[in-house]
Structure 1
Amino acid sequence: MTISFSLAASVALHDNYHRIHLPPVPLPLPSRPSPPSSVSWSRRLTIVRFTCGFSDMDNNASSSLFPLHRCKTLHLVRHAQGIHNVEGEKDYKAYLSTELFDAHLTPLGWDQVDNLRKHVHACGLARKIDLVITSPLLRTMQTAAGVFGGESYADGVSAPPLMVANAGNSRRPAISSLNCPPLMAVEYCREHLGVHPCDKRRSISEYRHLFPAIDFSLIENNEDILWKADIREANEEVAARGMKFINWLWTRKEKEIAIVTHSGFLFHTLNMFGNDCHPVIKKEISKQGYHGIRVSSNQVLPGLEPITKASSLSSVPIQMSLQALN
């Protein structure tokens, strides 16, 4: 849980870190140097204190200072339960089945989508999101449209539907693109590539018919040339692709971005962070589920509550900070 209250500075407490927002009102510069405890900055900054909670790490606690305008907040969402998850839990070899090609969501998966949608609207997050980025696979786009899309689509509405009725055997009504953030499909955040048919995408021309209002302009090839039937992408390659994705995010102007992706992609990408943390913390970062992880340019500050098993679905906030340039 995050607790916020108003003092001279607004302080947010979350498990293993403290975040302090200094007031945005410009303050006069002191006539002589002030001690470090004085609030003397003339613009809004974010202070992050690394407080891991381990006694043997107390002497290693450190502080980082970042201008707030150089921060992005990412809301990570692992797709809801797909048919491949159900079959793969019964028999791992099922992942090799061509019947699971571009796996769609199960009825339970759609229930998870509905529950997360209620949450993002109830907490006000739906109004804050500037952009939704989704992996271009059926299960992630179904999740993205269901969670962040408009209300049910009705004939006579001028805007194209975000998702057409019964897309991917969903037995769901069409979803409107009205009053929702833009959705964009990006290949960088796909699941492990190769071998497993469930991770192979359809043609973009087919997706455009199923999801008319999703932006596919950044995907260069209509057919899936990245997926190889006999070569499975190595974990290190997934991690490297994830870092390219993170670097690409810095080219975007949006500050609050939701990313609908896959557990394997999240696991290997986030595993690239936290090398300067205690091994126990590093291990927590590498788990299948994440909650309240904060990423800056040089450290990861985790909240240690695992999520995202096949029976649950949640969004995960991450704040990326880039140090001020000279």
Structure 2
Amino acid sequence: MDRARLGSLRYRIAHLVYLVIYPIPWFFDGVHTIDVVGSLAGLISFLALYFSHNPLRPRLWQGVAIAAIAFAMSPFHAIWPVIFIYAAATIAGTTPRRRAQAAFGFLLLALAIFCWLSGRHWPDIVFGATFGFASFMGTSLMNDLAVRHAQLLEAQGEVRALAASNERERIARDIHDLLGHSLTVIAVKAELAERIAPTHPERAQTEVHEIAETARQALREVRAAVRGMHGASLPHEVERARSALASAGIALHNEGSADGISPSQDGVLAMALREAVTNVIRHSGAANCYIHLFTDKTGVAMMAVEDDGQADIPFARRPSIAEGTGLRGMRSRLAAAGGMLDIRHGTKGLRVTATLKAS
């Protein structure tokens, strides 16, 4: 049983306290066997019906049947309108709400007509109507709260599932960017070391040491990414880009500075720079790479990475731009931080521009 239904069931059990009112006249006026037997039969029928339905979704006929039991118990010299309270509570849980209200109004009318036709005293009408109305309103409110609580629990479950999904996507993007860059650098340096080993063994040894350090750094960054703290920074990424590009035979030309970029922008742009440089090394065939960094007066930071890998291809004949996993991850990360990514053909090659507002 879910929490909402369990809470409603507990409320209904506590609601049975009103039944202690039923036999009060017996203590003052005496009681006959027929009163006890008839009352027990009526109470058993009432309790069986009262607990037979869904606490949050009772049927209208069940409320009407409980009211009929109350009328049937009227001859047994007890405060029979107390059963009417439970009929009102049951009807309050039915849907739609307008039908429940109409049924309760009909029940009040039936109570008045029954008391008038059977010669009952006016306190029976006042008691049944007053406490029935209070029960109807209280149960309606309780059911509304129970339904809202169930909806809230369902919404919380959806939020948790969405958060878990977003976290998995974030980790996948970070690991893709981290490993994609690091493995590209390792592959480039390994090829370089293999090529120069016969003629420059000392330099080849240096490259091998750098490969090992790059692998250790990648492992540290993957662990940090899983923890949610990749710790990337623009100055660090610019230097890493310089080393990685040099190993691939690509010259880096850096314009501007990361000094004016706020800490909230730094990490996001650093990861974007890493992916952009990785793409230059892998796909561009360029001889030069240009990184532009600046911040305008409003605090908007812009980073552009451009290569000259298509300088010999006429602009009109350049192939269309296809975004892979890395570029889509870069776009998603920037969008989540309130930024934008623009990818287009520049004057000499591909130009990737990341724009991000200060948070």
Task: Select the structure that is richer in helix.
Answer: 2
Task: Select the structure that is richer in strand.
Answer: 1
Superposition TM-score, scaled by structure 2 size: 0.20
Larger relative CO (CA 8 A, sep 6+): 1 or 2?
1
